[in-house]
């Protein structure tokens, strides 16, 4: 059985923390889905073994997404995308647990 434990509306995306009780190793999943299509299942970006870590990732993602949008990026699937730049895999950014400054440096390096 799956249930939603946390929801954060962030610009044009919904960031959800879902709990899947059948997955004993990492039952909490950070998902994104378009606010324009709330019936989709979205994309899983990270899996965690506890709710607090998943909620922290969801909130961090919202902040990073806002920073990326300001720099011309948009969400495409599981990546942040901008013309003439390499895609940034959101799951990697979350796994690295970057600070805001580190993420901004990553955005700036991509734009060179």
Give the per-residue pLDDT at 1: 79
Q: For residue 103, name the pLDDT band (cuts at 50, 70, 90).
A: very high
For the chain, the average pLDDT equals: 89
Q: Region 30-58: what's the mean pLDDT?
A: 85
Q: Which tokens go with 55?
A: 């909620």
pLDDT the model gives residue 94? 93
Query: What CA–CA distance (Å, rounded) separates 14 from 108?
Result: 25
Query: H helices within the chain, ranges in order?
Result: 51-70, 90-96, 100-110
According to the model, what pLDDT value does residue 41 have? 64
């Amino acid at each position: 059985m799956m249930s939603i434990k946390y929801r954060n509306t962030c610009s044009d995306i919904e960031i959800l923390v879902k709990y899947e009780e059948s997955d004993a190793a990492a039952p909490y999943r950070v998902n994104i889905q378009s606010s324009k299509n709330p019936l989709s299942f979205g994309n899983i970006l990270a899996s965690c073994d506890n709710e607090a870590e998943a909620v922290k990732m969801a909130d961090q993602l919202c902040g990073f997404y806002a920073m990326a949008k300001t720099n011309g990026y948009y969400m495409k699937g599981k990546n942040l995308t901008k013309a003439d730049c390499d895609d940034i895999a959101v799951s990697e950014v979350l796994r690295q647990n970057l600070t805001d400054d580190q993420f901004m440096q990553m955005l700036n390096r991509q734009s060179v």
